[in-house]
Amino acid sequence: MGVLLSSILVQAQQIRTLIYNQQAKYYIYEANEVVSIYNTYKDTEGELINERFQILGQFLNADISITNLDAGVLYGQPIKEPLQKVLQEPGFKEKIKNGNNVVYSGKLPGVTDEIFLVAVPLKGQNQIMGSVIISSPLSAIKQHVNSILVTALIGAVIGIFLATISSIFISRKLVRPLMKMEETAKSIADGEYGRQIQVTSEDEIGRLAHSFNVMSAELKEKIDAIERYDRLRQELLSDVSHELRTPLTVIQGYTEAMQDGLVKSKEQEQHYLKLVIDEIERLRRLVEDLQDLKGLEAMDSINDMDYVVMNKLVQISVERLKYFAESKEIQLEVIIPEKQITIWGNSDRLKQVLTNLADNAIKHSDSKGNVRIELGTEKSWAYIAVKDSGSGIPKEELQNIWERFYKVDKSRSRRGTGTGLGLSIVKRITEMHSGKVAVESKLGNGARFTVYFPLEK
């Protein structure tokens, strides 16, 4: 029995030491990753660093803070006064200044709960600027150690020999998932977010592995959300360049015409100035609208709707594109019926639809080509069709042409340039007017884009 007890005590101490060492290595590794995050985003907004730390802290079930050498918090979770006193001790500060890691476990002054803490020096500009502190309650680790000891004691009842063999087997079995968790955690830290661990049991380790998998999946969702936010900001810049290009070209064309003396009369000059002012006003509205353009996908309807006479809208929109077409030696053919066609919609958004379609058609037509713009009715629909004389679109690409940022392969199609935003904006605005879109094309015969809107009697 003495041998059994000695064996159990030795194994218990080894298990306790191993788990504490594993936890310390794990926290040190994650603290070094925090240093990398800080060095990567320190020149950006502090909210982004705090958001990353919050996600990682939830994943580790621990508090993460970046402090200066005097234990003042720079980023992350606030540090309570008892812990701050420990961090301000000369021995602690000296180790950090010398570039050494610090591992602390035990009670804090005036606090009953025990804590497990790891501090890693924060290096920058070839000097120690502070430290990264990761801390969590020691009770969770102790509870895990105690569950292992209980399992070992149950095995000891069977017999001295079987207890010794079983304790070794159980120790290896229980430690292996922890090592797997450590391996997976390192992979997650390297960017493989969402990695899962195979759960082979329903005991404490199995539940811990399950919790690890849940946290890993949640971490991936958070990281994906951050990446989507970054991507939306990049898309906004693309939208700005795409949406402002054509109005600026029109303004430049009319102002250069006046500057070069091509305007021969006061009436023509006033006409050009009015068109320029209209485009400037449209630019101002576009700059304001681009801020909430991303919200179009979340909106059910467009504000400021009214009865719109499409005959007049097409005439005005085409007039603004004439100079752009002439600069590329493109002939604009406009077909507008004598009968008035009226729909319920927002005139600015409808102009944006026609401008985007005509702009794309002009860009993708060969020099001295032809762009045909047709307004008409079909059953209970009003439609605008824009036909270009470009090289056409492959049949297999037609179903994807309206997707946001979609670009047809440059080697096979005319649509090798541009941001891929115009047609997706056209589709969204059309759908918000209860309309629909269509495209027809054959290689070598150009493409015909059509938008349909419900007629108003």
Domain boundaries, the chain: 2-192, 300-454
* Same topology between domain 2-192 and domain 300-454: no
Report domain 300-454's class: alpha beta
| Residue 8 banded pLDDT, cuts 50, 70, 90 | low
Nearest Cα neighbor of 220 from 204, 196, 252 is 196
Nearest 10 degrees: Cα torsion 260, 263, 265, 271: -130
Between residues 306 and 422, the one the model is more confident about: 306
Residue 165's φ and ψ, nearest 5 degrees, are: -65, -45
More reliable by pLDDT, 332 or 290: 332
Residue 405, pLDDT score: 47
What does each C-alpha distance from 42 to 33, 79, 155, 371 come to in angstroms? 14, 20, 53, 52
Give the model's pLDDT for residue 102. 87
Query: Between 247 and 380, whose confidence is greater?
Result: 380
Q: How far is CA 109 from CA 64, 102, 140, 170, in A?
A: 20, 18, 20, 37
Q: What pLDDT does residue 351 have?
A: 93
Q: What is the mean pLDDT of residues 132-136?
A: 85
- Tell the burial category of 104 from Cβ atoms under 10 Å away from its Cβ (0-12, 13-18, 19+): middle
Half-sphere exposure of residue 153, counting CA atoms within 13 Å on the CB side? 8
How far apart, in whole angstroms, are the C-alpha atoms of residue 350 and residue 452? Answer: 11
Q: What percent of the chain has pLDDT over 70?
A: 81
Q: What is the pLDDT of residues 249-258, one digit of tens each?
A: 888 888 888 8
Token digits for 247?
A: 């109005």
CATH superfamily of 2-192: PAS domain (3.30.450.20)
State pLDDT tens for residues 12-68: 677 777 877 888 888 888 888 888 877 777 766 667 777 777 788 788 788 888 888
In this predicted model, which residue has the larger pLDDT, 218 or 354? 354
Q: For position 285, what pLDDT does the model report?
A: 59
Distance CA(107)–CA(93), nearest Å, equals 19
Of the candidates 206, 183, 174, which has an alpha carbon nearest to the alpha carbon of residue 12? 174
pLDDT confidence of 414, banded at 50, 70, 90?
A: very low
**Span 76-123, pLDDT tens digits:** 778 777 777 778 787 887 888 888 888 888 777 766 778 888 888 888
**Cβ contact 19:145 at 8 Å:** yes
Q: Note the pLDDT tens digit of each residue in 192-242.
A: 777 777 777 777 777 777 787 888 888 788 887 777 667 756 766 665 676
For the chain, what is the HEC assignment?
CHHHHHHHHHHHHHHHHHHHHHHHHHHHHHHHHHHHHHHHHCCCCHHHHHHHHHHHHHHHCCEEEEEECCCCEEEECCCCHHHHHHHCCHHHHHHHHCCCCEEEEEECCCCCCEEEEEEEEEEECCEEEEEEEEEEECHHHHHHHHHHHHHHHHHHHHCHHHHHHHHHHHHHHHHHHHHHHHHHHHHHHCCCCCCCCCCCCCCHHHHHHHHHHHHHHHHHHHHHHHHHHHHHHHHHHHHHHHHHHHHHHHHHHHHHHHHCCCCCCHHHHHHHHHHHHHHHHHHHHHHHHHHCHHHHHHCCCCCCCEEEEHHHHHHHHHHHHHHHHHHCCCEEEEECCCCCCEEEECHHHHHHHHHHHHHHHHHCCCCCCEEEEEEEEECCEEEEEEECCCCCCCHHHHHHCCCCCCCCCCCCCCCCCCCCCHHHHHHHHHHHCCCEEEEEECCCCCEEEEEEEEECC
